[in-house]
Structure 1
Amino acid sequence: MGPFLSLLSLIAIVPDLSIATHIAPSAHIHRQHARALDLPAGWSAQGCITDNPGARTLGGDTFTDTVNMTVENCVNFCVEKNWIFAGVEFSQECYCGNTLLNGATNATATDCNDACTGNANEICGGASRLNLFWSGEQPPPPPETIPSVGLWDSLGCYNDTAAARTLSVGAAVTGNFSVETCTNTCFNLGYPLSGMEFADECYCDTAFRNGGAPALLTDCDMPCRDNQSEFCGGPNRLNVYNFTGTLPHGPVAPPPPGGGGGGAPVFPASNLPTPWHDGTNGRVFQTELPDNQNVTVESCIASCSAQNATLVGLEFSVQCFCGTTLVNGATLGAEADCDMACGGNATEACGGPNRLSVYTSLPNGTVPSLPVPVVKTTDLPTGWNYNSCIMEGPNNARVFPNQIISDTNTTIDGCLIQCQAFGYPAAGLEFGTQCFCGDFSDVTENSAGPAAATDCSFPCTGDLIHLCGGAQRLTYYTFNDTIDIWATPENIGQYEFLIGGVVVPLVATVGINGKVNFLEKFGTGFPNSTGAYELDLSLVDDFDLAWRALHVKSDVFCSGSLILPDKAARVLNVGGWSLDSTFGVRLYAPDGSAGVNGTNDWEENFNELHLQKGRWYPSALVMANGSVLVVGGEQGSNGAPEPTIEILPTPAGGDTTLFMPWLNATDPNNLYPFLHVLPSGNIFVGYYNQARILNPTTFDTITVLPDMPGSVTSDIAGRTYPMEGTAVLFPQHAPYTDPVQILVCGGSDFGTALDNCISMTPEAPNPTWVVERMPSKRVMPCVAGLPDGTFLIVNGAEQGVAGFGLADFPNLSALLYDPTKPLHQRISILNNTIVARLYHSEATLLPDGRVLISGSDPQTNFSNGTVKFPEEFRIEVYIPPYLNQGFTQPSYTINETDWTYGGVFPITVNLHQGTTSTMRVSLVAATSSTHGNVMGGRIIFPEFTCSGNICDITAPPNANISPPGWHQLFILDGPTPSHSQFVRIGGDPSDLGNWPNFPDFTLPGE
């Protein structure tokens, strides 16, 4: 497959593409808890249910608000209109009703995942999905076929077609439309048969014509427009009534235009209408305005002109249509057929039954017309083939999970290209406006089966000469191969319980003492928690000895951590929750050894040392010069943006922070931005769904990179907190001539987790994101770089965003991403855990090659208040496949652990399976893990040579390839890694070992 095509780049194929979520909610996402709904007394949520744009579930009043839609606004609107049901959909749409219509059924809760435009904390339905609310009152009786109205008796439901009417006389009903008003209209015209169709169309006659015959009563299933207790036919179906009394006179034609005073024509001869047939092969206009009992030629033209239409059509006295071309093989009719007076001006003609009075603003009276649309079977995007017309699932269930909607620009090619770009080999188009993407299995598992080819009869809104499905029918296309292949190896590794915890970790960091340091937010875990603990991995069999209490002075919630390049490998933690803690700068020098407690503790004094700006959710990076870059955040929990950067140690000269407009523009969706030093020394920064390269000295933007692709249905999805994916650098290999690549996995589309990883070579001549689909959706993933150059992907959820109570459906599966394999074949499905790891979870590479899995503090309860996802104290480890084969791990000895750039350093190796000719050496940068963000992550495969069992390793050449810092050094005997030892590369060029020079801080020195 070729490189990713963003939704924006598809404009040439699908201009003005709109997606199922319709809008990018811009409200600040609250991260502590989902706000309780403020509903009127008696109203309650009823879950997620199906809806259909062609056959609505709620048939009453409706409105759309692209800016301020909330659940409360919708419910209050329905209350004012005296409805008992309210439903919100597509972020911005509100529907009311007294009954659930058209076979509506319960849908999966995850289908309703669109944030409301007026409150991003609330969910307002989804793609053809309603969040339903009920007043508690019993609904009125459902609509019924009225057995009689006065002397009019029901004859049941009859078939009808627009091309050959069963009742041939179309009648305009004055006022409200109901069975009563339609039968009364036919009575006054002298006709004994009266029929109602499509909720608001009335027909009369003296006999059935054109083979009209009874149909199933259930086919007449549309309530009357102005009386929801009665049925008024359906699509191509008539509720027919027979008059059993004596009519006042014989049949007469409906009032013709031009009567009542003989008014002169309004328009000059050059603009007189032409008559056209309608309905022979479907509607010949694409846009129909609501019926208007007071319509005139002038009002219809004005309404259509406001939509930039060049053609106007009037029909059946009350109908107004707009467009730029006629479709469906429209043909000219006879002028005498347009014999119905306009509802608002009896001196003007407004078409007739299935006849249009068409006006044009084009030169010379031109009326463009397109042929009858056909199925597109040739000139398809490479690899795609037309399959058939298929049915949606039983009870209106969807076949495919991913929906893209464009009311004006849906095309076959645009749909297929978009599906392929995101890894979906099956595509379907429906209702002319909808593109669906999925897998072959979706069809076999969900479709009700094949449909007649003629059922897929709706023209594509962006390509009117081709067909895009029909009502509950999909024009189905397939790709001739699997796009993404996920390996399912026999050796999948395993999760293991390691030890019970005394802390609910927020930050996990492996120190050079081989122990794991955990930080915890205030208020989490046990009441007497000290907020920081250290785990001795050599003592996990003795709970009382394994844990050592440490102490922090301020709340580290939503802070950032990394390991400094000073000789003590101090852990630096910056930022925090609120007030002074957001300015926090905290330091810890790991000491002690396996089985021996250290004595050091966290050091912090706000009065001596603090950030220049308070920061909640900042990121930090050791730059090539050895100083620390701190980026972004907010001014406390859910506070105003802090769109600045600053340097530690703080330079002299007052406020040295720099304002970054790109951070300001993307708050609150840019928190914990991704930061990486590139081989040029420049800095990659990824934030929300955007990325750029910065100069490391001036921090000016060098390159604005293409936006990060989101999901198949959305290009506004995000990758950083609160949408929260994670990013890592691909491994770098000596001689380091290849440009480095960035990998970003997971994220969220304001509620729907993303199911893909994306990668880019940011310093390539024309950098482009490439999408690789994952086997499942994942927001809040954690990624750990492994000594063999692969990446373990764990933790997270399949729905929601990061925050307290804002995610659901834990993703319990582990994946392995291998950059050495071909694109779209890099992901293997590994083992599952039983422990939900959601908000505040971590994945950390241990010195023995296992991955420590910790944390989860989602604070999510069931509606009755009981805990749904608990604070997670349990610590697990994942045994990667390379340790799950029964091989003995190699070992090595080393004397020199403080390396200079380009230096050569010997080790003595002990291998058990292979030889040094097949051995590999890797350097995995020391990192800190929080919220899935791995600050400081990097994997390097350096050059080495061996003589016997003594190998000389050449350190990376400069600080751009490997910024100053500590690394775990591994050797690999075939697939099996050794235990690591820590080495420092590049020294401490910014003299951090002598910072901060204050009484409350211990300095390790140079």
Structure 2
Amino acid sequence: MAMKSDGFFFLLVSLILLISACRGQQLPGTWEVVLENAGIASMHTAVTRFSTVILLDRTGIGSSRLLLPRDRCRIDHSDSSLPAGGRDCSAHSALLDPSSRRLRPLSILTDTWCSSGQFLPDGTLLQSGGDLDGLRKLRAFSPCSFDGHCDWLELDSPILADGRWYATNQILPDGSVVIIGGRAAPSLEFYPPTRPLRSFPFLAATMDAQMDNLYPFVHLLPDGRLFIFANARSILYDVDTGDIVREYPELDGGPRNYPSGGSSAMLPLDAADGYAKAEVVVCGGAQYGVFLHRQTDMPAGTTCGRIVATDPDAAWAVEEMPFPRVMGDMVMLPTGEVLIINGAQAGSQGYDMGSDPCLNPVLYRPDQPAGLRFMVLTPTDIPRLYHSTANLLADGRVLVAGSNPHYFYRFNGAFPTELRVEAFSPEYLAANKDGLRPAITAAPERVWYGDEFEVEVEVALPLVGQMEVNLLSAPFATHSFSQGQRMVRLSVSPEVTVKEGGVDGIATPYKYRVVCKAPPDGRVAPPGYYMAFALNQGVPSVARWVQLVP
């Protein structure tokens, strides 16, 4: 009897020790503060082909904490929070160099509150809409190196045919941009305006008392048609004919679009299946009525819906996330996994409408079996609620900025306006992966559709398995959705050894040449600049920027 008791006690102690060890184990990923004070809370964020980052807030809220040169002040008589005369000498946009951690103020004149954006084929960021004097405005930012003099250009012509507040932009196969929806705007239009304004009754049909169809989720499928999701409904839309080709089944779990604050991403398009399959994931959101009744402590949604949008019999498969989440951002990583980051566990989008910050990022691994796809990652200690963003950098980190749950800048209370900029490093950037990490030593700056091109890489250790080369777009991130986000897995030939490493015991790198085939056309990857990552056993290189051209 004593032996049985001793054995039970030993097992109990072992179990307690095992649980304690697991609890103390470091979760994957690390955080660092890139900038202690950006001066502005970035409501909209985009990474340029120079690997600089455009930070953009709104005007109409008084002065920020970042000053403009005196000769670049703006006059805004409609902003009652400014001194008499409406003179604003603070910046509401800035250019950040994450590598040197330098910041340069930019000039924005019209109100970009809840606006939209998309990069054009030449690398220019087209920025559209906003509120008040920005409602029908178009702006352009043609990027340059950090030490250059590029700045925002407010376009006098053309102007938007409809006011676009809370709209979504998507680049099309020919390099033009479609601008969809917005508050009181159930329509779509194009830039350049070579096609007329088009009514879009689907948005009127998905409008409810708390809206829930703003910032619709829009994904360009590899057949050139659009998957458009609003509220809890989605359609396949032929943007050329203006026809709704089909309506998909409704996604259970409540509304997902603004102000209910879910997010969405399209999983990688893959040359292995001829780029024929496109899967869309929609995660999180708020319960209906939370925004209307200001139920800030109402738990957020816990589900992700996943659908093969190109399947004739497409149906949603629903999975449970480790945490409820509203106002989360979904960022495509070079591995094809999706980082779900930022947000709250209760409430909705809107000023002072969220609570219980969700500090842990979660990795969604689409190729794992259902039930094993989510991995909880290292938490931050900085809440990122309403008006926060997340963007992939060319070095593989994810830049996190913003969070201003208040109408004006407010630096006291539970969730103050956040001016710090962070970077999250996924596990693939850990030091113990350095021996596997490839470095791209040569790649073309420009690639034509369907052409073969070569990429040369160096690796400290000899390759095991096939090198991957993936193209990732630079999206415009705002309000929990990255407009234009896209990843394409290229067809690659077996690598050719250029130089053997480690000769005579000296730690020299192994050098390889990989032949890649560019995407066939703009339906798979619209023209423009992409980050080209080489991957070795799931460990990515620093990306090279490549322009994909017709």
Equivalent residue of 1:735, what SS?
helix
Equivalent residue of 1:663, what SS?
helix
The answer to whether the Cα contact below 8 Å between 2:118 and 2:177 also exists between their aligned partners in 1 is no
The one-character-per-residue Cα deviations of 1:38-84 (angstroms, maximum 9, x if unpaired) are xxxxxxxxxxxxxxxxxxxxxxxxxxxxxxxxxxxxxxxxxxxxxxx
The one-character-per-residue Cα deviations of 1:73-103 (angstroms, maximum 9, x if unpaired) are xxxxxxxxxxxxxxxxxxxxxxxxxxxxxxx
1:671 to 205, 214, 217: 214
Structure-1 residue corresponding to 2:154: 604
1:658 to 185, 198, 209: 198
Counterpart-to-counterpart distance in 1, 2:535 and 2:206: 43
Letter in 1 for 2:29: G
Structure-1 residue corresponding to 2:31: 495
Structure-2 residue corresponding to 1:557: 113
2:447 to 899, 911, 914: 899
The answer to whether the Cα contact below 8 Å between 1:785 and 1:845 also exists between their aligned partners in 2 is yes
Equivalent residue of 2:369, what SS?
coil
The one-character-per-residue Cα deviations of 1:744-798 (angstroms, maximum 9, x if unpaired) are 1111113341011110012212111111100111001011110011111111111
Tell me by how many angstroms 1:839 deviates.
0.6
The one-character-per-residue Cα deviations of 1:772-826 (angstroms, maximum 9, x if unpaired) are 1001110010111100111111111111111101111111111000111112211
1:591 to 133, 144, 152: 144
Structure-2 residue corresponding to 1:515: 52
Equivalent residue of 1:530, what SS?
coil
Relative to the length of structure 2, the TM-score reads 0.82
**2:418 is aligned with 1:869:** no
**2:491 is aligned with 1:930:** no
The answer to whether the Cα contact below 8 Å between 2:279 and 2:307 also exists between their aligned partners in 1 is yes
Letter in 2 for 1:573: Q
Structure-2 residue corresponding to 1:748: 286
**2:395 is aligned with 1:848:** yes
The one-character-per-residue Cα deviations of 1:680-711 (angstroms, maximum 9, x if unpaired) are 1111100111100011202210001111111x
The answer to whether the Cα contact below 8 Å between 1:912 and 1:973 also exists between their aligned partners in 2 is no
Letter in 2 for 1:845: L
The one-character-per-residue Cα deviations of 1:344-390 (angstroms, maximum 9, x if unpaired) are xxxxxxxxxxxxxxxxxxxxxxxxxxxxxxxxxxxxxxxxxxxxxxx
1:879 to 411, 419, 425: 425
The answer to whether the Cα contact below 8 Å between 2:27 and 2:376 also exists between their aligned partners in 1 is no
Counterpart-to-counterpart distance in 2, 1:789 and 1:928: 19
The one-character-per-residue Cα deviations of 1:421-476 (angstroms, maximum 9, x if unpaired) are xxxxxxxxxxxxxxxxxxxxxxxxxxxxxxxxxxxxxxxxxxxxxxxxxxxxxxxx
Structure-2 residue corresponding to 1:575: 129
Instruction: Give the aligned length.
Output: 471
Tell me by how many angstroms 1:665 deviates.
2.4
The answer to whether the Cα contact below 8 Å between 2:53 and 2:97 also exists between their aligned partners in 1 is yes
The answer to whether the Cα contact below 8 Å between 2:129 and 2:164 also exists between their aligned partners in 1 is yes
Letter in 2 for 1:626: G
The answer to whether the Cα contact below 8 Å between 1:914 and 1:973 also exists between their aligned partners in 2 is no
Q: Which runs of 5+ in 2 are unaligned?
A: 1-22, 66-87, 291-298, 498-511
Letter in 2 for 1:601: D
**2:515 is aligned with 1:962:** no
Tell me by how many angstroms 1:913 deviates.
3.4
2:165 to 616, 620, 635: 616
Structure-2 residue corresponding to 1:813: 360
Letter in 1 for 2:362: L
Equivalent residue of 2:304, what SS?
strand
The answer to whether the Cα contact below 8 Å between 1:860 and 1:870 also exists between their aligned partners in 2 is no
The higher-RCO structure (CA 8 Å, 6+ apart) is 2
The one-character-per-residue Cα deviations of 1:821-840 (angstroms, maximum 9, x if unpaired) are 11221100111111110011
Tell me by how many angstroms 1:885 deviates.
4.1
1:697 to 240, 247, 256: 240
The one-character-per-residue Cα deviations of 1:927-984 (angstroms, maximum 9, x if unpaired) are 1111111111111110112211111111111222212222100111223211111112
2:325 to 778, 782, 802: 778
Equivalent residue of 1:748, what SS?
coil
Structure-1 residue corresponding to 2:6: none
Counterpart-to-counterpart distance in 2, 1:860 and 1:614: 21
Letter in 1 for 2:392: L
The answer to whether the Cα contact below 8 Å between 1:491 and 1:884 also exists between their aligned partners in 2 is no
Equivalent residue of 1:886, what SS?
helix
Alignment of 1:363-402 (within 5 A): none
**2:519 is aligned with 1:976:** no
Counterpart-to-counterpart distance in 2, 1:570 and 1:699: 27
Q: CA separation of 1:831/1:895 partners in 2, compared to 1, >3 Å: closer, same or farther?
A: closer
Counterpart-to-counterpart distance in 2, 1:943 and 1:508: 31
The answer to whether the Cα contact below 8 Å between 1:509 and 1:929 also exists between their aligned partners in 2 is yes
The answer to whether the Cα contact below 8 Å between 1:571 and 1:588 also exists between their aligned partners in 2 is yes
1:536 to 97, 106, 117: 97
The one-character-per-residue Cα deviations of 1:241-278 (angstroms, maximum 9, x if unpaired) are xxxxxxxxxxxxxxxxxxxxxxxxxxxxxxxxxxxxxx
The one-character-per-residue Cα deviations of 1:213-251 (angstroms, maximum 9, x if unpaired) are xxxxxxxxxxxxxxxxxxxxxxxxxxxxxxxxxxxxxxx
Q: CA RMSD in A?
A: 1.9
Q: CA separation of 1:925/1:916 partners in 2, compared to 1, >3 Å: closer, same or farther?
A: farther
The one-character-per-residue Cα deviations of 1:826-875 (angstroms, maximum 9, x if unpaired) are 100111111110011111101110100111010189xxx95221110001
The one-character-per-residue Cα deviations of 1:299-351 (angstroms, maximum 9, x if unpaired) are xxxxxxxxxxxxxxxxxxxxxxxxxxxxxxxxxxxxxxxxxxxxxxxxxxxxx
The one-character-per-residue Cα deviations of 1:516-537 (angstroms, maximum 9, x if unpaired) are 1111112273374221100112
Alignment of 1:693-772 (within 5 A): 693-710=236-253, 717-737=254-274, 738-750=276-288, 751=290, 752-772=299-319
Tell me by how many angstroms 1:914 deviates.
4.2
Letter in 1 for 2:425: I
Q: Which runs of 5+ in 1 are unaligned?
A: 1-486, 541-545, 635-640, 711-716, 988-1006
Structure-1 residue corresponding to 2:180: 631
Counterpart-to-counterpart distance in 2, 1:538 and 1:810: 28
Counterpart-to-counterpart distance in 2, 1:968 and 1:571: 16
| Identity level (%) | 31
Counterpart-to-counterpart distance in 1, 2:389 and 2:56: 11
The answer to whether the Cα contact below 8 Å between 2:443 and 2:544 also exists between their aligned partners in 1 is no
Tell me by how many angstroms 1:489 deviates.
8.5
Q: CA separation of 1:834/1:502 partners in 2, compared to 1, >3 Å: closer, same or farther?
A: same
Counterpart-to-counterpart distance in 1, 2:428 and 2:177: 35
The answer to whether the Cα contact below 8 Å between 1:902 and 1:954 also exists between their aligned partners in 2 is yes
The answer to whether the Cα contact below 8 Å between 2:396 and 2:542 also exists between their aligned partners in 1 is yes
Letter in 2 for 1:590: P
The answer to whether the Cα contact below 8 Å between 2:350 and 2:405 also exists between their aligned partners in 1 is yes
Equivalent residue of 2:242, what SS?
coil
The one-character-per-residue Cα deviations of 1:852-909 (angstroms, maximum 9, x if unpaired) are 0111010189xxx952211100011101011124332321123422211111111111
Structure-1 residue corresponding to 2:506: none
Structure-2 residue corresponding to 1:986: 549
Alignment of 1:137-156 (within 5 A): none
Equivalent residue of 1:958, what SS?
coil
Counterpart-to-counterpart distance in 2, 1:733 and 1:908: 21
Counterpart-to-counterpart distance in 2, 1:488 and 1:692: 46
Counterpart-to-counterpart distance in 2, 1:911 and 1:941: 20
**2:485 is aligned with 1:917:** no
